[in-house]
Amino acid sequence: MRATESPGAAGTDLALETRGLAKRFGHRAAVDGIDLAVPRGSVFGFLGPNGSGKTTTIRMLLGLVSADAGTIKVLGRDMPRSLPEVLPDVGALVEGPGFYPFLTGAGNLLRLDAADRHAPAATRRQRVDDALERVGLGHAAGKKVRAYSLGMKQRLGLANAMLRPRKLLVLDEPTNGLDPQGTREVRNLVRSLAAGGTTVFVSSHLLAEVEHMCTHVGIMSAGRLVAQGTLDELRSTGQSAVLVTTHDVGHATRVLARLGLVPGPAPTPGTVLGGGLDGMAPEAIVAALVGDGVRVRGFSVENASLEERYVSLTGEGFDVVG
């Protein structure tokens, strides 16, 4: 699969799908004809540098901004025509949660739920209590939101998105402001929601969290969707390398170079890294090394990491702190 291909469109049940989706602001193309394909039941990580078009795309998916061109389907329905029918099945946390600071956490959720004409009043209090417990805010339900930390407000935003069962959750930076324990809890919560059949679309700047949490990834750069697919698919499209453990480092390096493999920085002493595998059979490389007298103590094929694929596609660094 090439980096720009859109995998799995035909015959796949998709929770989100766009064709040629575009949005311009003046002379600038914020989103430039993207074909997004998010499988149902997946945890889809939406990545890209600041200004790459992620937030604009999310706002178009949710009907907050109109598209200039292209089509959008959410849960199989055309948008924005089907907005009233689709949105009750969609929970969202976009661009940070906004709450009434003078109300308690529970009071905010009760007020928001009461404004939802699809939410049953009879179960409102119980659903609010359950949502607060799920995000670890049961102890702070009676505290006014003005006393909440950034991480607590983020948790409250997640609780609001989950007040009713949803088929799709759209989360923009869901671990923003959370400590490591809170980040792990959100990660486990997202996994449990996906295991129950909910599709989770996560926009994030934390690459390590995406690798731990997501099953699929899409990468944006300068308004274009430059890659999407499963984590394994994206890693496999990068340059693979071989890692040889041997006492004969210099000898092994010369043999790998003769085979057309590009020497790279050795991760540990007594190892040799050769990049650019490009379909060469690993057993043929081992045979060449041994046949030339290299004492091979270990051999493995190293696929490109998601971080390496991201940098190669966007040319930009990334926050990889978990």
Residues 192 and 278 in one domain: no
The domain tally of the chain equals 2
Domain final residue, candidates 211, 235, 259: 235
d(CA 322, CA 40): 26
**Domain range enclosing 60:** 14-235
Structure token pair of residue 104: 């308690």
d(CA 181, CA 322): 11
| CATH (domain of 49) | 3.40.50.300
Domain final residue, candidates 217, 235, 253: 235
What is the per-residue pLDDT for 238?
Answer: 61
How does pLDDT run along the chain (322 residues), one tens digit per residue? 344 444 444 445 999 999 999 999 998 999 999 999 999 999 999 998 888 999 999 999 999 999 999 999 999 999 999 999 999 999 998 876 689 999 999 999 999 999 988 899 999 999 999 999 989 999 999 999 999 988 889 889 999 999 998 999 999 888 877 888 888 888 888 888 888 899 999 998 778 888 888 999 999 999 999 999 998 887 766 667 888 999 999 999 999 999 988 887 777 889 998 877 777 888 999 999 999 999 999 998 877 667 777 777 777 654 443 3
Is 76 a member of any domain?
yes
Is 217 a member of any domain?
yes
Is 27 a member of any domain?
yes
Residues 6+ apart with CB under 8 A from 3: 226, 227, 237, 309, 313
What is the per-residue pLDDT for 232?
Answer: 81
Is 287 a member of any domain?
yes
Residues 33 and 72 in one domain: yes
Is 177 a member of any domain?
yes
What is the per-residue pLDDT for 11?
Answer: 40
Residues 230 and 248 in one domain: no
Indicate the pTM of the whole model: 0.76
Is 318 a member of any domain?
no
| CATH (domain of 297) | 3.30.70
d(CA 178, CA 158): 12
Residues 243 and 231 in one domain: no
